[in-house]
Amino acid sequence: MTGLRERKKQRTRDALIRAAHELFVTQGYDATTVDQIAEAVDVSQRTFFRYFTNKEEVALSLHETINDRFYASLCARPVDEPPLQSLRRAVDEVWDESSRTITEILPVELHMQLCQVIETTPSLLSAHLHHYLLLEEKLVQEIARRTGLDDEQDPRPRVLVAAFAGVMRSAARHWGMRGDASLEEARRSTHAFLDELRPALASEWGRGTRVAERDE
Amino acid sequence: MTGLRERKKQRTRDALIRAAHELFVTQGYDATTVDQIAEAVDVSQRTFFRYFTNKEEVALSLHETINDRFYASLCARPVDEPPLQSLRRAVDEVWDESSRTITEILPVELHMQLCQVIETTPSLLSAHLHHYLLLEEKLVQEIARRTGLDDEQDPRPRVLVAAFAGVMRSAARHWGMRGDASLEEARRSTHAFLDELRPALASEWGRGTRVAERDE
DNA sequence: GAGACTAATGACAGTCGCTGACAATTGACA
DNA sequence: TGTCAATTGTCAGCGACTGTCATTAGTCTC
């Protein structure tokens, strides 16, 4: 089935990702050259660029697979579920399997540390935000499909996804900028932020309205 | 007061922005080299990089000044106003003066066209998103200040700004990807999207809940 | 108004990200 | 085993960006 050729490719790809992560975390992203990554895996620089279109992509590759899983989770939710609830449940599902997903390729701690590198490195953060935007557009399509709305006519799918994604990123950033980079803490942070989505939009922010209404 | 030296600097800066805009719009961003921009203004490449830290910045410079105005508008709103309303009103104020702001430097049409270039050029869009994120962080601080909340303890300022900014970007993108790039259309688009923020978060999306509740 | 001081610029060399082209290598498969 | 195609290495080159240093050109003083 999977030939030697393909396995070999997968191995060098994983090796490149791992080497890149280690170098990025220890030296910093900008201080690490593509040549260093390639050398660490003992391939030519040219080969690196055959696996990854640019330097950013190798740093964001794990996020990318997690994003894919998230999208798949959303698509698998029952269509009669309210949209925001589907998004939220999909988040839960992805968190549940994320540590397994990550560990297949590299130590979880390394990934956590890289998250902080991403948040603190401008060029990397920019690319990250762009990737996130592309995911958002897929989410809009899916929400529109599920609700049977035309996303060109009705702005609600876009608006919902934009608000949701904005809060998700905000939670990720809030967590990523801190020191305690545990998976569990990240999960809690996203939950806490999502719980505040509706309360935060209330016109008045009295202490009374502070009680979060969970979607569960 | 303003010496010759300073006026000259301002002129070359404006000239660089204008030349860059024209080249980006006619040839595309990637196809335009910094050398071409510098040559059009008859300065060396090195001086270009003394005015702008990188190629993206010259393309986003106008957005940057508009963002600054927006932040200033927000800060000037009465503190007893509900946060979301302050954000919304600040948007209105900026729209009112934006055409004037732009025309000081270059034709409005050029700026509109550049918006489309930004949305369709990956590297540029990435940088744009990053700039937007930096603005968001300033907004969070200001909202926290106005409401007297500690943004480290209470997530609502972050969440509100994230949702708001997400919708704003979504509206801008929705408009920027289309053909009719008029200022008036852009203004309408952002209004329409903001009006849908609360309705879109309703659990059920029946036609009945579709009626927008304006914040005015 | 001449000269000293300093900010702005130009010229040049070099690094790094990234790409195209072509040759060499190495699995796959008959 | 030999042929074919996929993968890789090498090399040459472009463009973004930076450090350095000499040169130019406002500015300020006497």
Classified as helix, coil or strand, B3 is coil
pLDDT of residue B137: 97
Tell me, yes or no, if A27 comes closer than 8 A to chain B by beta carbon: no
The average confidence (pLDDT) of chain A is 91
Q: Which of A84, A166, A173 sits opposite B201 (nearest CB)?
A: A84
Tell me, yes or no, if A82 comes closer than 8 A to chain B by beta carbon: yes
Contacts of B130 in chain A (CB under 8 A): 122, 125-126, 129
Q: What is the rounded distance in angstroms from the CA atom of residue A35 to the CA atom of residue B204?
A: 53
pLDDT of residue B179: 72
Q: What is the rounded distance in angstroms from the CA atom of residue A37 to the CA atom of residue A52?
A: 12
pLDDT of residue B48: 98
pLDDT of residue B1: 52
B170 vs A161: CB contact, 8 Å cut-off? yes
- How distant is the alpha carbon of residue A186 from its chain centre? 12
A203 vs A80, higher pLDDT? A80
Digit-coded pLDDT (tens) for A75-122:
999 999 999 999 999 999 999 898 898 998 999 999 999 999 999 999
Residues B17, B19, B20, B26: is their CA dihedral positive or negative?
positive
Q: What is the rounded distance in angstroms from the CA atom of residue B11 to the CA atom of residue A12?
A: 52
H runs (alpha helix) in B28-53: 34-41, 45-51
Q: Which residues of chain B have pLDDT under 50?
A: 208-216
Nearest 5°: phi and psi at B60?
-100, 5
Tell me, yes or no, if B212 comes closer than 8 A to chain A by beta carbon: no
- CA angle A172–A174–A175, rounded 5-degree value: 65
Q: Is the Cβ–Cβ distance between B63 and B128 less than 8 Å?
A: yes
Contacts of A149 in chain B (CB under 8 A): 205
Task: Measure CA of the first residue to CA of the last residue in chain A; give whole Å.
Answer: 43
A138 contact partners, CB below 8 Å, separation of at least 6 = A71
Mean pLDDT, to the nearest integer, of A29-57? 98
Write out the E strands in chain A.
Answer: none
Classified as helix, coil or strand, A131 is helix
Other C-beta atoms within 10 Å of A10: how many? 11
Digit-coded pLDDT (tens) for A141-184:
999 999 999 998 899 999 999 999 999 999 999 888 887 778 88
Whether A208 shows a pLDDT value over 70: the answer reads no
Tell me, yes or no, if A84 comes closer than 8 A to chain B by beta carbon: yes
Rounded to the nearest angstrom, the minimum Cα separation between B72 and chain A is 22
pLDDT of residue A205: 84
A3: pLDDT confidence band, cut at 50, 70 and 90?
A: confident
Nucleic strand D interface residues, CB < 7 Å: A 5-6, 8-9, 12, 42-47, 50-51; B 3-6, 8, 32-35, 45-46, 49, 53-56
Q: What's B166-183 look like in SS3? A: HHHHHHHHHHHCCCCCCH
Burial class (CB in 10 A: 0-12, 13-18, 19+), B3: exposed
Contacts of A89 in chain B (CB under 8 A): none
Interface test with A, best of B80, B126, B191, B211 (most A CBs within 10 A): B126
Tell me, yes or no, if A57 comes closer than 8 A to chain B by beta carbon: no
Q: Which domains does chain B have, with CATH numbers?
A: 1-52 (1.10.10.60), 59-210 (1.10.357.10)
Classified as helix, coil or strand, B63 is helix
pLDDT of residue B211: 43
A162 vs B167: CB contact, 8 Å cut-off? yes
**Among A91, A93, A180, which Cα is nearest to A139's?**
A91
| The one-letter amino acid at A79 | V
Rounded to the nearest angstrom, the minimum Cα separation between A23 and chain B is 24
Q: Is the Cβ–Cβ distance between A130 and A122 less than 8 Å?
A: no
Rounded to the nearest angstrom, the minimum Cα separation between A210 and chain B is 9
Burial state string for A85-104 with b = 16 or more CB within 10 A and e = fewer than 16: ebbbbbbebbbeebeebbee
Contacts of B215 in chain A (CB under 8 A): 203
Q: Which nucleotides of C are covered by protein (CB under 7 A)?
A: 7-12, 16-21, 27-29
Contacts of A162 in chain B (CB under 8 A): 163, 166-167, 169-170, 193
Distance of B49 CA from C7 C1′ (whole Å): 16
Q: Is the Cβ–Cβ distance between A132 and A167 less than 8 Å?
A: no
Q: What is the rounded distance in angstroms from the CA atom of residue A48 to the CA atom of residue A55?
A: 9
Q: What is the rounded distance in angstroms from the CA atom of residue A31 to the CA atom of residue A180?
A: 24
